[in-house]
Amino acid sequence: MGKKTKIGLAAAAVGAAAWAGSKVLANPNQRPAKEVLNYDRPIVLAHRGGSKLAPENTLAAFNRSAELGVNGFEVDIRMTNDEEILVFHDEYIDRTTDGAGRVADLSLDQLRAFDLGYHFIDLEGQHSYREKNEKVVLLRELFEKFPQMYINIDIKDAPETYEGSLVPSKLWRLIDSLGVHDRVVVTSFYDEQIDRFNLYAQNRIAIGAGENEIRKAYTAFTSQFGHLYQPRADVFQIPTKSSVFRLDSARFIAFLENLNIPVHYWIIDEPEAMRALIASGAKGIITDRPDLALSLISELEV
């Protein structure tokens, strides 16, 4: 046996011993159950209220999706300059005629002067909301108007900004004051914002996975040391693909499910894609077409 072969075999033996030792020492923790994630069928969350059915983040969208029978809403939040928590995605709001203004630089009263329906084109290609003057919505208003709804909240303000530094504590105080602890999930692309929020919530609120947490989980899954992964999120809300990596395999879903972490996929608008994800074990569909998702799930239950 050559020297290189002996070295290779020795390295393999060391690696196998390390893997076996880690299996003995590892104690992977399942995430504790959260009431908002206690469901026995795939759920449908209307993305920004169902933004292909009505102007996104408006009461028109939320009302329509609620009437359809969705389980909840997936919304983004930003803070205004008078420290109100607004249901809004973009950093800038379109003024329709004179440029754009940054949400964080405008007051709630200023923001309510804008028409969110101005650019919406419905499925028939019509400007069906142009004259209806749809207004911005506060997160508080959404909670109060839809007391039965699961609301997934995505913090959009970056942690290094002034508004981003305030929103985790402001959000916690709003949730706590309204007593809606058991019907929200709080997440963000920024892991730091999730961590900041949880400093106040102390694991009393279900939290999602930021980009770093998703990367960590996928790396663990594809390695030989998945048993060492200790999750810090209660639910994963992810796209089907990130860069060149597929995140929608049944094995990856099962890997997370074994840790008591359901997986929701966004933004899924095609029924066949919804069907495939549910067949692979997905527990939630986040969609701009809640009408199609609800119809498919009803069909699967027959």
Does the annotation mark 119 as catalytic? no
Helix crossing, 290-301 with 271-280: angle to 10°? Answer: 50
Ramachandran angles phi, psi of 155, nearest 5°: -75, 120
Ramachandran angles phi, psi of 93, nearest 5°: -110, 135
Return the bridge partners of 207, or none: 186
Residue 12 DSSP label: H
* Residue of 47, 181, 227, 264 marked catalytic: 47
Cβ neighbours around 178 below 10 Å, total: 15
Residue 208 DSSP label: B
Structure tokens at 12: 């393999």
Structure tokens at 40: 């026995």
Structure tokens at 232: 């810090």
Does the annotation mark 181 as catalytic? no
Which sequence positions are flagged as catalytic? Answer: 47, 89
